[in-house]
Amino acid sequence: MIIKLIAPLIVLILWFQNTNGQILTKKDIKLITNQIENLINEHYVFQESKGRIVSEFEQKVKSGKYDAITNPDSLAGILSHDLKSISNDGHLYVRYLSTNDTVKKDVKDWEKQELEREIRSNYGFREVQILENNVGFIKITEFMHPQRAMQTAVAAMKLVENTDALIIDLRGNGGGYPGIMEYILNHYFDGPPTLLSTTFFGDSTLHPAPNYTSDLVYGKLRLGTPLYILIDNKTASAAEYFTYTLQAHKKAVVVGETSAGAANMNSFFPLPHNLRISISTASPINEITKTNWEQRGVQPDYPTNAEDAKDKSVEIIQSN
């Protein structure tokens, strides 16, 4: 009985491997690793460290560490581990896209699903309310597409524009589109445009891009109105930019946990055999601090557990 089962099982394994997987050769590995080195050299944002990263990666390649790996998914995991270890950069990694992932989806269906998701989440504005003692509270789960989310953002800021203090809850907010984030941020700046940061690129053909405030505010400015921002270790990207910028300008008090530390902007580049590499291609540098929050995270002014951050901010407001 066992002998009878072995042959069909071998056939099944071979069929699954041939239809759903790929077998990498030593030549394939060389092609993949060469492209990784070239892409890092061309696009990695930190000029002073990319030479060292490539050099250390080349040593691992020459040692033959990857030559015996035949599964692209396994290769992606090992390459990611090594690249992150060499660079100490969480944005530098390799992913394998299965056949199902690479099948092109109907664009209209995707857009419809995305729109439904945005609507069901109220365009990222989960809660907008006025607490006791005229304290405004806005919970933003994600900064969504400004063309669709702007009306909701305007309504949220209008609701709290006459409050004596405002709490913006960015716990769990992994970022999103910068437009809505910048719109809310603009409420705390007045006068001529203020240079907030400059984005530098790894691609030498791209010039540094300054980021200024604007007068795009459909309502009252909140100059001098106390602002408290709640963060946790899942607060990332655009949500960190918002928090870090206002904290640097002394326009906000930050309460909660140290944030994720994802300042750099990454881009994906294709590699052979359904692999792709993520590379840090741009980095925003704050005009005041002359650095950013990459790997360090935004540091709260009042450290506390994430679940206690809201109560802590209310306590601080009441004591002032």
- Please report the DSSP string for 85-112 in residue order: HHH--TT-EEEE--HHHHSPPPHHHHHH
Residue 6 confidence (pLDDT): 43
Which CATH number does the domain housing residue 186 bear?
3.90.226.10
The values of phi and psi at residue 44, to 5°, are -65, 135
The reply to whether 158 falls in a domain is yes
The reply to whether 291 falls in a domain is no
Answer yes or no: do 254 and 268 share one domain: no
The reply to whether 289 falls in a domain is no
In this structure, are residues 230 and 310 in contact, taking their beta carbons and an 8 Å threshold? yes
Answer yes or no: do 192 and 315 share one domain: yes
Q: Domain limits at 84?
A: 22-96+264-281
d(CA 293, CA 237): 10
The domain total for the chain is 2
Q: pLDDT per residue over 173-202, tens digit each?
A: 999 999 999 999 999 999 999 999 999 999
Which CATH number does the domain housing residue 82 bear?
3.30.750.44
The reply to whether 84 falls in a domain is yes
The reply to whether 292 falls in a domain is no
Answer yes or no: do 80 and 160 share one domain: no
Average pLDDT over residues 279-287: 96
Averaged confidence pLDDT in the chain: 91
Answer yes or no: do 147 and 199 share one domain: yes
Residue 106 confidence (pLDDT): 54
The values of phi and psi at residue 204, to 5°, are -65, -15
Residue 141 confidence (pLDDT): 98
The values of phi and psi at residue 15, to 5°, are -65, -45
Residue 244 CB contacts under 8 Å (≥ 6 apart), including other chains:
263, 286, 292, 293, 298
Cα–Cα nearest to 293, from 244, 226, 225: 244
Answer yes or no: do 237 and 306 share one domain: yes
Instruction: Say what the pTM is.
Output: 0.82
| pLDDT > 70? residue 320 | yes
Q: pLDDT per residue over 131-148, tens digit each?
A: 999 999 999 999 999 999
Answer yes or no: do 243 and 174 share one domain: yes
Pick the residue with more confidence: 111 or 127?
A: 127
Answer yes or no: do 122 and 233 share one domain: yes
Answer yes or no: do 178 and 273 share one domain: no
Residue 1 confidence (pLDDT): 40
